[in-house]
Amino acid sequence: MNQEQGQNFLHSLTRVKDDLPVSPAILREIFYKTEHSSSFSLDSISRTVASDQSLTTKVLSRANSAYYGFEARISSVSRAVALLGLSDLRRIILSISVGALSRKVRHQDLDLQVYWEHQSFTALMAREAAIMLGRRDAEDLMTCGLLHDLGKIITALYAPRVWAEIDAQARQEQRAHYLVETQYWGIDHALIGAMVLQLWHLPESLTEPVNWHHRPEFAPSEFRDKARILCLANNMEHSIRADSLHDIDQDLHQVLGLNPGDTRNTAMDIIAGNTMQELKEMFAA
C-alpha cells in the first residue's frame, strides 16, 4: 500500500506549480536565457525578470542583502543583473521559489533553521570541492547544494503525516532519512526534489546531481562526478553535526581525487566564516 502511496505522491507533484511565487514559464525563460547568454543580451534577461513585479522586488531585496555586500544600493533590475552575474541571478530566483515553499511548512514538521544551515554548508562545500578539482561548474554545484534536499520540504508540506512518521523512525533508529523513506514508500526526498525541479523545467545539470546525491554511483555517467561532489559535501555537513569530521568518506575522496585534509580544512573555514550564515539568511528570508 505504501509503495502505491509513494507513486501517487509523485504523480501529484504538478500541484507544486500552483504554490510558486514565480511563474514556471518565467522561471523556464530565465534559465533558458541565462544558459544561452551568448544569444541573449543582459537587457533581454533583465526585461524578463522585470516583467513580474513581485519577482523584481524580491530580486532587488536579495541583491541588497549582506551576502553580496555591494557598497551602493541597487535600485534597478538591469543593475542587479549586471552586478550579480547570471549564476547568482539563477540562485536568487530559485531561492525565492524554494523559500516561499519552505515558509509554508510548519516548524514542528521540519526545523527550517537546521534545514537552511545544512543547505548552505553543502552548497559552499560543493563549490569549494569543485574549485579544488579545477572544474568549471563550481557555481552549478553550489546551486545543486542549495536545492539538494528540496524533496524534504515538499514531503513535509504536502504529506506531513508521512514525513512525521519517516522523521520519527529515522531519529529513533539513527538511520539516514533516504533509507527510511525508500523502505517506507519506495521513493526518497532526492527523487522527489529532482522531479519538482524537472517540473520547473530546470536543466539536467541541476536535476540529476540532486536526484543521485545519496547514490552517486547510479547517476548517468556525465553527471556522476557532480553527484559524488554533492554527496561528499552533504556527508561532510552531517559529520560536522555529529562532531565526527575525522570520520569522512575516504572512498569518495579517493575516486574524486581529493585530499581529505584539504576538504576538512575547507569545511572548518566555512563553519568559522560569515558566508554560510549570510547565505542561509538570504535563502530563508
Give the domain CATH number at 88: 1.10.3210.10
Residue 246 pLDDT > 80? no
Residue 194 pLDDT > 70? yes
48: cell is: 524578463
Report DSSP letters for 82-95, one per residue. Answer: HHH-HHHHHHHHHH
Write down the mean pLDDT value for the chain: 92
Look-up of cell digits 563549490: 127
Predicted pLDDT at 221:
98
Rounded to a whole number, what is the largest CA-CA distance in the chain? 58
pLDDT digits (tens, 9 = 90+) for 209-243: 999 999 999 999 999 999 999 999 999 998 887 77
The whole-number average pLDDT for the span 103-119 is 92
In percent, the amount of the chain with pLDDT more than 90 equals 73
Amino acid (1-letter code) at residue 179? L
Flag the least confident range among 60-69, 156-165, 202-211. Answer: 60-69
Contact residues for 130 (Cβ-Cβ < 8 A; gap 6+): 137, 138, 141, 229
Q: Which domain holds residue 274?
A: 2-284
Look-up of cell digits 574549485: 131
pLDDT digits (tens, 9 = 90+) for 3-38: 899 999 999 999 898 888 888 888 889 988 988 777
Residue 1 pLDDT > 70? no
Predicted pLDDT at 227:
99
Specify the number of domains making up the chain.
Answer: 1
